[in-house]
Amino acid sequence: MASTENSPSPSMASTSVVTLNVGGELFQTTAATLSRAGASSPLASLGPSPADAPHFLDRDPRLFAGILSFLRSGRLASPPPSAALLAEARHFSLDGLLLASLSPASTFSPLSLRPTALLPLTGRVAPSAVAISPSPHAASLVAAHGGVVTSFDAVLASRTSVLTPLPTIDSLVAVSPALALAGARDFPGVQLCRFPGDAPATASEALYWPDSPSSSVLSMAATAASETASQWLFASFESARRNSSAVVAFDLNSLSPVLEIGRKEVFGADVEAAIPPTKLSWLAGHNLLLAAGSHSGPAGMVGDIRLWDVRASSTVPVWEVREKEDCFADVAASDSLSALFKVGAASGEVFMADLRRLSGDGTSVDPWVCIGDRQRAGAVTASRRKDGNNCRIECYRNWVFVARDAYVEVWTQVEITSEAGEKKAMRKNWVGNGPSMVTADGEEKAKIVSWAFGGSRMALARVDHRSIEVWDSASGAISGNL
């Protein structure tokens, strides 16, 4: 057994000097700095060395200087990185950390969002869906235009496209920078779009609802990956005859179905008895699946909202409500705020329901509290208008966003102090220049058809625009157009 009598303690080793000879140029740093590269990086294994016996690395010293600067400060001196620096980071297994640092979610500020990049798409079809992959590569995004899915890397410097068998893509989920999932109404299966980086992109695999191979995809959501659980995809399917529907959970490691949730059958002409979910969201902090869908008929719009604890039951939701008066145009869930939010299809106002107070079937007590203009909401609903029909709502971190035609409003939770104590309320503001329908060039803004949030970014797709807008709030945001 080797003697450890003269071995330095861990605390001494973490502050000891490491001398490196990189391509003939000497660098000096500490073992603690190199350890920030992570256990998978060869840099983390380099121990202290004297100046007369440095570690030798046969690499470009100019590029290594940028790598070392990033390890010391946690950020790049002049983002975005060049293709050469990205390749060097990949050599040292640092590309994940480097890319994630460019748009960290911690720097997201909705009131600081500004347009920073315009990503043109090939072809003549405008984008129908956009998605941003989750951490750690939060800024990489994918866009669907026609039957094509295009993936942009986290620095928006390069792109890869793949043609799917779908003519038009309605639903898109970015699981990771290497995997996106696409679905379409009236066309079977969930298409797996792979972007491996070191090989051609492919879209040759598909996932199906086991009991109905001809079923089409209405909505999708993915759980966050963890060390203890597999990552699941939840996909809402409807059969080709539209007489049955279900949410199916697939294990994305094995690509096999593991659970069927809330199967519905339509009997006769009673379509409202089995409205399929067209909006799925996963609340990781609550282990709940939000499934919502609506139907517009002669009597008006009717919708169902259900919350599922898939660990407890796949046939009985933990909470459900049937929406009739001012049914939702769109609904979203917030983990951090422990609440559901909806935009009324009639009123266009925003409503909130506290997840901690939901119980039963939601029929005896109205769970919604209007956080907008309550008087206007009541008056507009009574007049049977449809002011919120084209609105979208989404939750990201501690904020709630509402897309109204061409512009975006944001709701923030604030604390109000009074003699009775402190209470929390939601306050509205605008992203960018607010509800101005005219751009700086004097052109009218186009309606938002899809959007996504991730890292410090918001991505928008507008009707008839063959490009993706990227808005960023990070101090090191990318500027210019591609």
Task: Name the residue type at position 281.
Answer: S
C-alpha closest to that of 148 among 132, 134, 128 = 128
Phi, psi of 255 (to 5 degrees): 60, 30
C-alpha closest to that of 332 among 453, 213, 248 = 453
Give me the pLDDT at residue 172, please.
96
Rounded (to 5) percent helix, strand, coil in the chain: 15, 40, 45
Q: Kindly report the average pLDDT of the chain as a whole number.
A: 84
Which is more confidently placed, 54 or 479? 54
**Residue found under tokens 């004097």:** 442
d(CA 12, CA 7): 10
Three-state secondary-structure class, residue 105 = helix
Give me the pLDDT at residue 349, please.
95
pLDDT tens digits, 152-210: 877 776 789 999 999 999 999 999 888 999 999 989 999 999 998 778 999 989 999 88
Give me the pLDDT at residue 116, please.
86
Give me the pLDDT at residue 366, please.
80
pLDDT tens digits, 286-332: 999 999 999 887 777 899 999 999 889 999 999 999 998 899 999 99
pLDDT tens digits, 273-285: 789 999 999 999 9
% of the chain exceeding 90 in pLDDT: 51
User: Looking at the predicted structure, is the pLDDT value of residue 481 above 50?
Assistant: no
pLDDT tens digits, 50-104: 888 999 999 999 999 989 988 887 777 666 677 788 788 888 988 667 766 666 7
Over residues 225-238, the mean pLDDT reads 76
Q: Which of 122-126, 433-437, 469-473 has the lowest mean pLDDT?
A: 433-437
d(CA 116, CA 194): 27
In the chain, the domains with their CATH numbers are 67-102 (no CATH), 124-388+411-443 (2.130.10.10)
Q: Which of 31-40, 225-234, 301-310, 318-327 has the lowest mean pLDDT?
A: 225-234
Instruction: List, in sequence order, every residue forming a beta bridge with 162; answer none if it has no partner.
Output: 149
Give every CB contact of residue 28 below 8 A, 6+ residues apart in sequence. 17, 18, 19, 20, 51
Task: Quote the longest CA-to-CA distance of the chain.
Answer: 86
Q: Determine contact, residues 411/422, Cβ cutoff 8 Å.
A: no
Question: 202-207 and 187-194: which strand pairing?
Answer: antiparallel
Alpha-carbon distances, residue 473 vs 197, 391, 455 (angstroms): 27, 23, 9
User: Looking at the predicted structure, is the pLDDT value of residue 422 above 90?
Assistant: no
User: Looking at the predicted structure, is the pLDDT value of residue 480 above 60?
Assistant: no
Angle at Cα 114 formed by Cα 112 and Cα 116, nearest 5°?
135
Q: pTM for this structure? A: 0.80
Over residues 236-263, the mean pLDDT reads 91
pLDDT tens digits, 99-139: 666 667 777 899 999 998 899 999 999 999 999 987 544 45
Give me the pLDDT at residue 106, please.
74
Give me the pLDDT at residue 327, please.
93
User: Looking at the predicted structure, is the pLDDT value of residue 421 above 70?
Assistant: no
